[in-house]
Structure 1
Amino acid sequence: MKDRYQTIIIGAGPAGMAAAMELSKAKKEFGLVEKADRVGGLSKTYTVQEGELIFRTDNGPHRFFSKNPYLYRFIEDLIQDDWIQVRRQTRQYIAGTFLDYPINPSQVIRALGWKMIFKAGWDYLKAVVTYQWLRRPVKNFYEYAISQFGRTLAMFNMINYTEKIWGISTTDLHVDWAKQRITGLNFGSLLKNVVTKWFSSSSSVKVKSLTDVFYYPRHGTGEIYQAIEKRLRANGYDIAVNTQPTKIRHDGKHILSIDLESQGQIQTLTCENLVESIHLTDFVTLLDPLPPPEVLEAARRLRYRSQIHLFVTLNKPSITPDQWIYFPEQKIPFARVSEMRNFSADMSPPGKTSWFIEFFCDETDPVYAMSKQELFALALPSIEACGFFTAADVRETYLFRGQKDYPIYDTHYEENLARVKEYMDRFENLYYIGRPGRFKYTNQDHSLEMGILAARSIIEGRRYDIEAVGSEKEYFEQGQVPVKTS
């Protein structure tokens, strides 16, 4: 790395890589720094080789959908024919039965029986009266879910799984989480979606209420970011992996310099602009001088949820047709699984398949410290009881530990985040982006858009509103899925 750059980008996840790509198109100078040993952030793809067989997995599969047509072109330009369309199939497994995800009312009738359906209908009517007619204010996720579905359906389909993911009561989750993830998704919209599927017709662009079709890179999500890296290196840009910031100096209004550590060596770099997507709570502790105590305390109160992943390669051609299966019940230790070949046949060798198993946890939880053998022993009884596969089908297991994967929107997050952002926004040459950088649970397309807007702000000399990205008040899984023209 040189000692000075016009722009330094810290973090080579989707947001940072998109910023780098957009700056390179304008032939702007920058250096890119990544703590891990490869680019991709939360959208990496791992490749494992077993003899002559190659298996691939994302570190959490990411289907792609967006309302921004530019993002589709952005990715198609990078990976061309490897940008494939996939028809979504996602289900949940409850009480020994597969149900659609999101829930299908006709399946609920069969699963619950008419007695429970009448109870669910009565609960929904009570919710309509309470929250729509009487206008009782909604204070948290729990109340929001009940206001949209009624208590019976909310408990059956949403509250239990949400508490399993976050490890806290839904009464302690901010209503923003519900508004971001399930606004517009309610009992009525589910019924409408069923009817729409019956009468849908083809067109060049369909707005799918629950996104039945998505795009995916043929060799995994990480292919996008590997393609960016390859193009940047070919054009002479500096990319340093296994490198992390240890100090960020400022004068109160501008970022001045950054200390980077790599293999025990410290290098100081100066810059005109800093684009960063590292965790917001970590970033403020690197500042020199440090922020005021009240800002540091607010950052300390912002919490994340982590994950531990078990990747299992199998001597089976297929397990299910699903990309994802959700497991809301607490008695099953994992929350979600993905069969990678159902995203793309190239993710597994012919005649073989794999499962990517996700456990949500805090880093202080015993499960987070488990070895792959211990984690597999924890998961296997549920896997066999559900009839998915047996120990005899397993080729190999691999363990991947995430850190601070998901920002937790607890009931106090808003005030704490506002205090930290108020301080961060005083720096005129700082652009903080991405899910970790903004403490904002957004999708991959939002991270790409944040990076692109940060780059354009630098290129054009005017600030785009990065905070507005991913702030639309509607269900996040709505989007456009255009038909490829090539």
Structure 2
Amino acid sequence: MRTIDTDTLIIGAGPAGMACAIALAKEGRRFIIVEAQGQVGGLAKTMVFEEDGLVFRTDQGPHRFFSKNHALYDFIETLLQDRWMTVQRSTRQYIDGKFYDYPVHFFQALRNVGMMRALRMGVDYFLAKIQYGWRGKPIENFADYIYAHFGKTLGEFNMINYTEKIWGIPASTIHKDWAGQRIRGLNVRTLLKDALARLMGKKQKDGVKTLVDTFYYPELGTGLIYETIEQRLRARGYEIFLNAFPRAIRHEDARIKEAVIRQGEEEFVVRFNELVESIPLPRFFHLLDPPPPLPLLTHAGHLRHRSQVYVFLTLDKDSVTNDQWIYFPNKGIPIGRISEMKNFSAKMAPPGKTSLFIEYFCFEGDARWKMADAALFEETVAWLARLHFIARADVRHYYVMRQKDVYPLYDVAYEHHLKPLKEFLNSFPNLYYIGRPGRFHYNNQDHSLEMGFAAARSILLGYREDFDAIGEEKEYYEKGSLRKERKDVDK
């Protein structure tokens, strides 16, 4: 078995791993990258499908870039140059047979829900303020958080049901941290303030423009960021092993020493000074050699992920909607979300053609996960036809993909199990576990990039940054700022 010696081993070529790599490369550090999939980008990769000379591209779900960290904009603008553009957001929710714009347009929402239901929403919100505010009922789970901030009727209108659809468990068993991750700072007051500001054509007083209106996007898909990094690294002679994965992570004397990597039929050993990895955290514990104490393996076994099944349809029509993506909160519709990639960038589909990327939420190994590809296609097309999006005759080809470990599951007990695992990992001074899977922490693309850069700084400067603080801004997660000097580019 051959052995490779390097300064740093990076396992995982997603946003976090690739950001760390490009930062280390800038300083001339030695490293190699190991990636289990056949391309870089992780959950932010862009897939390419060629059909009779026509090229269709799709991300793995809708990815738009927004951040409060202007250094990230500088980095990507330098990397992509004019292949980086701004897009006006168009997003809707389909609820009870009606479309609702999101962000909320006040009169449209009022007209759709009706006056009586709107009054019930108002009364429930007032009662919730009494129950959770004046009477001091504690917020113990996600359902409590939603009821406290929106009232029961509004909360169950789209937030409770869509969240339960994503996670596959009751909202009362989901940790309140999930609300902190996704909708921190969002409530009825902020929704009304935003809706009224839109109605009056006003901007926020602080000059910050929320990216629920506008976002950045690479012209050939979000994966272009990581493909460009890959090209630059390979041009400088760095090795990136694709379709390769760790079989064992060996440690001794409180340091991670080496990893056994398998690529195809070959196994080889990588010895290193530092390990940067974004392996799903529960899986990482089962790779450690010698194994960690049994209680830690038990804790790791209690951490779960939600997975997804995707159906990508290429279509013989110019357009389906004007939306980048549409949510389906109602549980009676099995589809979770659809994206029309052409509405992100015209270069995601050939002229006169379009595509739809359809997402289903599931657990690895459940009925949805095991469903035959042909059956998934038939069910998907039947629902899209029933909802008047497309006809079966519009479909050119279909592709089915399955992705494990997409969302770390924040059940009410997750924190109890996660804390001792992180304490154990933190005992290794040369280990940097980063990214959404590595830290079992839901974050966005920009936060994963920040973690990668933070890992590189920690290695280069000899101190450990606070990774838990990344992405903990105390406001609605879709807030960010746009560079005012940039101009919008037509989709």
**Counterpart amino acid of residue 120 in structure 2:** K
Match in the other structure for 1:265: 266
**Kindly, what percent of the aligned residue pairs are identical?**
50
Tell me if structure 1 keeps the 8 A contact 2:277–2:434: yes
Alignment of 1:18-167 (within 5 A): 18-167=19-168
Over the residues paired in the alignment, what is the CA RMSD in angstroms?
1.7
Given the superposition, is the C-alpha separation of residues 105 and 195 from structure 1 closer, same or farther in structure 2, using an over 3 Å criterion?
A: closer
Once residues 208 and 134 of structure 1 are traced to their aligned partners in structure 2, the CA distance between those partners, rounded to angstroms, is: 36
Partner of 2:449: 448
Are 1:364 and 2:371 an aligned pair?
no
In structure 2, the CA distance between the partners of 1:42 and 1:150, relative to structure 1 (3 Å rule), is same
In structure 2, give the amino acid aligned to 1:248. I
Contact 1:104 1:190 in 2 (8 A): no
Write out aligned runs for 1:188-337 (5 A): 188-199=189-200, 206-209=207-210, 211-337=212-338
Q: 1 CA distance for matches of 2:232 and 2:485?
A: 23
How far apart, CA to CA, are the structure 2 residues paired with 1:202 and 1:103?
A: 15
The question of 1:3 aligning with 2:4 is answered yes
**2:12 and 2:279 in contact (8 A); partners too:** yes
Distance 1:448 1:154 in 2: 32
**Any idea what SS the aligned residue of 1:482 has?**
coil
Distance 1:173 1:252, change over 3 A: farther
Report deviation, 1:474.
Answer: 2.2
Structure-1 residue corresponding to 2:427: 426
Distance 1:292 1:196 in 2: 56
Q: d(CA) in 2 for partners of 1:105 and 1:298?
A: 46
TM-score (norm 1): 0.97
Cα displacement string for residues 39-92 of structure 1 (whole angstroms, at most 9, x for unaligned residues):
111011111111121110011221000010011111111111111100111100
Instruction: Give the structure 2 partner of residue 471 of structure 1.
Output: 472
Residue deviations 1:352-374 (CA, integer Å, cap 9, x gap)? 11000000001122111223321
Deviation at 1:393, TM superposition (A): 0.6
**Counterpart-to-counterpart distance in 2, 1:408 and 1:103:** 28
Q: Are the counterparts in 1 of residues 3 and 269 from structure 2 also a CA contact under 8 Å?
A: no
- In the TM superposition, what is the alpha-carbon distance from 1:210 to its structure 2 partner? 5.6
Aligned residues of 2:197 and 2:203 also touching (Cα < 8 A): no
CA deviation map 1:332-353 (0-9, x unaligned):
1111000000000000111111
* Structure 2: distance between partners of 1:71 and 1:201: 28
The equivalent of 1:352 in structure 2 is 353
Q: Give the match's secondary structure for 2:231.
A: helix
| Aligned-partner Cα distance in 1 for 2:253–2:305 | 28
Aligned length: 486
Provide the residue aligned with 1:395 in structure 2: 396
- Aligned AA (1:329): N
Distance between the aligned counterparts of 2:211 and 2:417, measured in 1?
32
**Equivalent-residue separation in structure 2 for 1:310 and 1:202 (angstroms):** 38
**Distance in 1 (alpha carbons) for counterparts of 2:300 and 2:436:** 15
Distance 2:198 2:119 in 1: 25
Q: Which runs of 5+ in 2 are unaligned?
A: none
Q: How far apart are the structure 1 equivalents of 2:101 and 2:403? A: 28
Gaps of 5+ in 1: none
Structure 2 CA distance for aligned equivalents of residues 463 and 270 of structure 1: 21
Q: Distance in 1 between matches of 2:219 and 2:277?
A: 29
Contact kept, 8 Å, 2:304 with 2:409, in 1: the verdict is: yes
Q: Deviations over 1:298-319 (max 9, x none)?
A: 1110000000000001111111
C-alpha deviation, 1:389, in angstroms: 0.6
Query: 1:244, CA displacement in angstroms?
Result: 0.8
Distance 1:439 1:425 in 2: 14
Q: Which residue pairs with 2:463 in the alignment?
A: 462
What secondary structure sits across from 1:350 in the alignment?
Answer: coil
